[in-house]
Chains A and B, each alone.
Chain A
Amino acid sequence: MSATPPTRHHVLSVLVENKAGVLSRVAGLFSRRGFNIYSLAVAPTDEDERFSRITIVVDVESAPLEQVVQQLDKLVNVVAISQLAPADAVQRELLIATVEAQPAERSQVIQLVGVFGGEVVDVGSVSLTVTLAGRPEKIDHFEGLLEGYRVVELQRTGRVALPKLDRRPAGDRHTAPELRTIAGTAG
């Protein structure tokens, strides 16, 4: 998860019914059809509790995007699918990491976090836990710089995305109900 995803990764924003087993249906479809998921994030949508939004970053080398979309669309619980080309989408991701930093290095790490607009959320005697939310490329860059220190643990959420305003996504399937997505993991 460290390198910037090349263009073979496409983002699908999938509006699904908020019913038991839906995530399993989506994940099962990907595994049985041999489609690769790069990352996946799920959160309920605001206002209408009937729906959740799954943001899937798909490896389109494993299967043509059109085939992935068409197969997903056959799932009865899938209500709408938006294909988000990187240029047409606002994307965000959250990173959380524990970095070993002896007192002498601590200020360097804190400075780095400050430069990126992240946050130090926990401080121990010899380590720090930091978070950063932002564009995936920014997260990649930050993660790369953290590798200069000893990273004890690192987690990324996978991306969430929405279409840029006043632009129609390239391949919109069905008209999605007017829903605002809660930023489940990153703002």
Chain B
Amino acid sequence: MEPKKTLTGAQALIKSLEMQRVEVMFGLPGGAILPVYDPILDSSIRHILVRHEQGAGHMAEGYAMVTGRPGVAMVTSGPGATNIVTPLSNAYMDSTPLVVISGQVATGSIGTDAFQECDITGVTMGITKHNWLVTQAADIPKVVAAAFHVATTGRPGPVLIDVPKDVANATMEWSWPESVDDLDLPGYHPVTEGDPAEVRRAAELLLAAERPVLYVGGGVLKARAGEALLALAERTGIPVVTTLMARGAFPDSHPQCLGMPGMHGNFTAVTAMQRCDLLVSLGARFDDRVTGKVDTFAPGAKVVHVDIDPAELGKVRTPDVGIAGDCRLVIEELLEALGALGLGSDGNRAAERVDLGPWWDQLRHWQEEFPLFYEVAPDGGPIKPQMVVEALRDLSPTDTIVASGVGQHQMWASQYWRFDHPYTWVNSGGAGTMGFAVPAAIGAKVGRPDRTVWAIDGDGCFQMTAQELATATAERVPVKIAILNNAYLGMVRQWQEMFYGERYSEVYLSPDLPDYVKWAEAMGCVGIRAETSDEVAPAIEKANGIDDRPVVVDFRTDAFEKVFPMVPAGASNDAIVVHPEQEQKSR
């Protein structure tokens, strides 16, 4: 037991973060949070000074996604706090554990429209797992401990702690909560293990299915269930699709991996789900970008739905078997149940087990007929963006971390990269936050300095948060940014071409305004430009050889290239549109 120690609220806050073994935080100071910035000078915690608070939030997300540890960001009141609303919303949609600390005006000024006052707990109520307005310095350690507990357990998510300036300045007797029971969370009871009876029913369905699919979502990564999933897939021989949030949860080069389903999923993954008779959803949430029109999604399938959030079971699709629980624990329970039903760990099938051979024959046929496809550029033609992703993939280490923004480049990155390692794909799924890539890549590189980190970004996205490259240079975080510069808001352009009669409204950005190379150089990065296909590989090799500063490569890509396949918004997944060159075969 430590002797009684008097601290300010600000000192207690930093000490509480140290107690949570926080190594790094991202932030930007201002008036209301000033007291808390003072003890940072004496702390072991590395603070990364961002150029805009949105950058702090996305960096914390990138850090959390690759390390599995909660990301921490700190901002001041008012605009500082509202600038981090987008990252909070993004982290809420993608279940990323985030602890955001915001300054607040002094308690006596709350409600008076004081300078830089904003009711940020009110603003973020719907986009945080929970938030706290601290009213007494003595509460700080308990609130910080509760915040980390809530952010990281159950379905992970962002939390916010709002700290009024007078609370940070007040003194308190330091006392750290001994256990979770001391945290004053009487209403918080996350589930962990699945109901054994339901798990057994799921195992029976698995053995009886003729055309099963494992529909793997981000929950598998959150639960660190990759190994368990591999064991389940190999023991049952069932094909696996990995959603946008789950890329890398199951290796792309595994023969049972069908790749990504959804609006821009490959034909086989999408159609396997449509035709399956059993859909085993593991940590996925039947997002509209995966299901297409819900009432026509996987029409003949029984559904086993495993999710740590009981509210996801039946939210979109009523499951035949719903199991609320942690994916890793439930998969392990499922493996035991399969063993009890005669499906041994050596892969020996239960005598009555259905033969999956015909299903695999069908899947292999689709894979041969409808692989991902793009037309190779003619000599001297503009660079194909897909070719850039393939070159990046082939010229970089296999465990490279890839971050992306939102739009065409994101889909091409997800489609054409080969994700063979978990926690190597950092993107904004649910919220679709343009500008995510640059700060998220920086956060990822801070969390995994041993890895190569490439951001595959669009020119539209890059312009939203590029200022953080000054942060990366100053903090010596050598990320690499590949801009697939097609001079357009490409995904919007694609929709206008396909669904708005080629009426292009407000989507043109220009290839050289700004000049990305000069801009990169102005921020202390190396700037490289590739204008033709034969310049692609040398540019990547040059970038991969630089490890003392950030690199930006401006790839001038074909503005007319579209992402295929595509399921039009609101349409059934059966209406999947493949590349025009493959059109004949699909009809």
Q: Known: A24-B125, A32-B126. Contact between A70 and B311, CB under 8 A? A: yes
Complex contact A70–B185 (CB within 8 A): no
Complex contact A79–B311 (CB within 8 A): no
Rounded to whole Å, the gap between the CB of A186 and the closest CB of chain B is 27
Closest to B157 in A: A74
| Chain A residues in 8 Å Cβ range of B122 | 21, 24
Complex contact B187–A28 (CB within 8 A): no
Complex contact A71–B133 (CB within 8 A): no
Q: Does B314 count as interface, using CB distance less than 8 angstroms?
A: yes
Complex contact A17–B126 (CB within 8 A): no
Q: Does B328 count as interface, using CB distance less than 8 angstroms?
A: no
Closest to A25 in B: B125
C-alpha gap A77/B310 in the complex (Å): 17
Complex contact A70–B187 (CB within 8 A): no
Contact residues, A1-39 vs B (CB, 8 A)? 16-17, 20-21, 24-25, 28-29, 32
Q: Does B358 count as interface, using CB distance less than 8 angstroms?
A: no
Rounded to whole Å, the gap between the CB of A177 and the closest CB of chain B is 8
| Chain B residues in 8 Å Cβ range of A167 | none
Rounded to whole Å, the gap between the CB of B122 and the closest CB of chain A is 7
Q: Does A78 count as interface, using CB distance less than 8 angstroms?
A: yes
| Chain B residues in 8 Å Cβ range of A77 | 130, 187
A74 contact from B121, B133, B185, B309, Cβ within 8 A: B309
Complex contact B129–A28 (CB within 8 A): no
Q: Can you name 18 extra interface pairs (CB under 8 A) apart from A67-B314, A76-B129? A: A16-B187, A21-B121, A21-B133, A24-B125, A25-B125, A28-B126, A32-B126, A50-B186, A66-B314, A70-B311, A74-B129, A74-B311, A75-B130, A76-B130, A76-B185, A76-B187, A79-B187, A174-B189
Map CB proximity to B onto A73-86 as digits: 1 under 8 Å, 0 otherwise.
Answer: 11111111000000
A73 contact from B125, B126, B185, B310, Cβ within 8 A: B310
User: What are 13 A-B residue pairs whose CB atoms fall within 8 Å in the complex?
Assistant: A17-B187, A21-B121, A28-B125, A32-B126, A50-B186, A67-B311, A67-B315, A73-B310, A75-B187, A76-B129, A76-B188, A79-B186, A80-B187
| Chain B residues in 8 Å Cβ range of A24 | 122, 125
Q: Does B150 count as interface, using CB distance less than 8 angstroms?
A: yes
| Chain A residues in 8 Å Cβ range of B185 | 76
Complex contact A76–B150 (CB within 8 A): yes
Q: Does A64 count as interface, using CB distance less than 8 angstroms?
A: yes
Closest to B154 in A: A74
Closest to B121 in A: A21
The 5 closest A-B pairs by CB, nearest first: A70-B311, A76-B130, A79-B187, A78-B187, A79-B186
- Chain A interface (Cβ < 8 Å from any Cβ of B): 16-17, 20-21, 24-25, 28-29, 32, 50, 64, 66-67, 70-71, 73-80, 174
| Chain A residues in 8 Å Cβ range of B189 | 174
C-alpha gap A28/B130 in the complex (Å): 13
Map CB proximity to A onto B298-328 as digits: 1 under 8 Å, 0 otherwise.
Answer: 0000000000011101110000000000000
Closest to A76 in B: B130
Rounded to whole Å, the gap between the CB of A79 and the closest CB of chain B is 4
| Chain B residues in 8 Å Cβ range of A32 | 126
Complex contact B314–A64 (CB within 8 A): yes
Complex contact A73–B121 (CB within 8 A): no
C-alpha gap A20/B315 in the complex (Å): 29
C-alpha gap A73/B130 in the complex (Å): 13
| Chain A residues in 8 Å Cβ range of B121 | 21
| Chain A residues in 8 Å Cβ range of B309 | 74
| Chain A residues in 8 Å Cβ range of B315 | 67
| Chain B residues in 8 Å Cβ range of A17 | 186-187
C-alpha gap A66/B312 in the complex (Å): 11
C-alpha gap A93/B129 in the complex (Å): 34
- Chain B interface (Cβ < 8 Å from any Cβ of A): 121-122, 125-126, 129-130, 133, 150, 185-189, 309-311, 313-315
Closest to A69 in B: B311
C-alpha gap A77/B130 in the complex (Å): 9
| Chain B residues in 8 Å Cβ range of A80 | 187
| Chain A residues in 8 Å Cβ range of B129 | 74, 76
Most buried by A among B125, B130, B187, B311: B187
C-alpha gap A74/B309 in the complex (Å): 8
C-alpha gap A5/B385 in the complex (Å): 59
Complex contact B130–A21 (CB within 8 A): no
| Chain B residues in 8 Å Cβ range of A74 | 129, 309, 311
Complex contact B311–A73 (CB within 8 A): yes
Rounded to whole Å, the gap between the CB of A39 and the closest CB of chain B is 22
C-alpha gap A25/B313 in the complex (Å): 22
| Chain A residues in 8 Å Cβ range of B313 | 70
| Chain A residues in 8 Å Cβ range of B314 | 64, 66-67
Complex contact B187–A20 (CB within 8 A): no
Q: Known: A16-B187, A78-B187. Contact between A21 and B125, CB under 8 A? A: yes
Q: Known: A17-B187, A76-B150, A76-B187. Contact between A70 and B310, CB under 8 A? A: yes
| Chain A residues in 8 Å Cβ range of B310 | 70, 73
C-alpha gap A70/B314 in the complex (Å): 10
C-alpha gap A73/B154 in the complex (Å): 13
C-alpha gap A75/B309 in the complex (Å): 12
Q: Known: A17-B186, A21-B121. Contact between A71 and B311, CB under 8 A? A: yes
Rounded to whole Å, the gap between the CB of B322 and the closest CB of chain A is 10
Closest to A29 in B: B126
Rounded to whole Å, the gap between the CB of B114 and the closest CB of chain A is 18
C-alpha gap A50/B187 in the complex (Å): 12
C-alpha gap A70/B126 in the complex (Å): 16
Rounded to whole Å, the gap between the CB of A52 and the closest CB of chain B is 12
Closest to B135 in A: A20
C-alpha gap A32/B189 in the complex (Å): 23
| Chain B residues in 8 Å Cβ range of A66 | 314
Rounded to whole Å, the gap between the CB of A65 and the closest CB of chain B is 11
C-alpha gap A47/B447 in the complex (Å): 49
Rounded to whole Å, the gap between the CB of A16 and the closest CB of chain B is 7
Rounded to whole Å, the gap between the CB of B350 and the closest CB of chain A is 34
| Chain A residues in 8 Å Cβ range of B187 | 16-17, 75-80
C-alpha gap A69/B120 in the complex (Å): 26
| Chain B residues in 8 Å Cβ range of A50 | 186
Most buried by B among A20, A67, A76: A76
C-alpha gap A80/B122 in the complex (Å): 23
Complex contact A20–B133 (CB within 8 A): yes
Closest to B126 in A: A32
Most buried by B among A29, A32, A70: A70
Closest to B155 in A: A74
Closest to A79 in B: B187
C-alpha gap A141/B187 in the complex (Å): 39
| Chain A residues in 8 Å Cβ range of B150 | 76
Closest to B309 in A: A74
C-alpha gap A71/B129 in the complex (Å): 12
Rounded to whole Å, the gap between the CB of B160 and the closest CB of chain A is 12
| Chain B residues in 8 Å Cβ range of A71 | 311
| Chain A residues in 8 Å Cβ range of B311 | 67, 70-71, 73-74
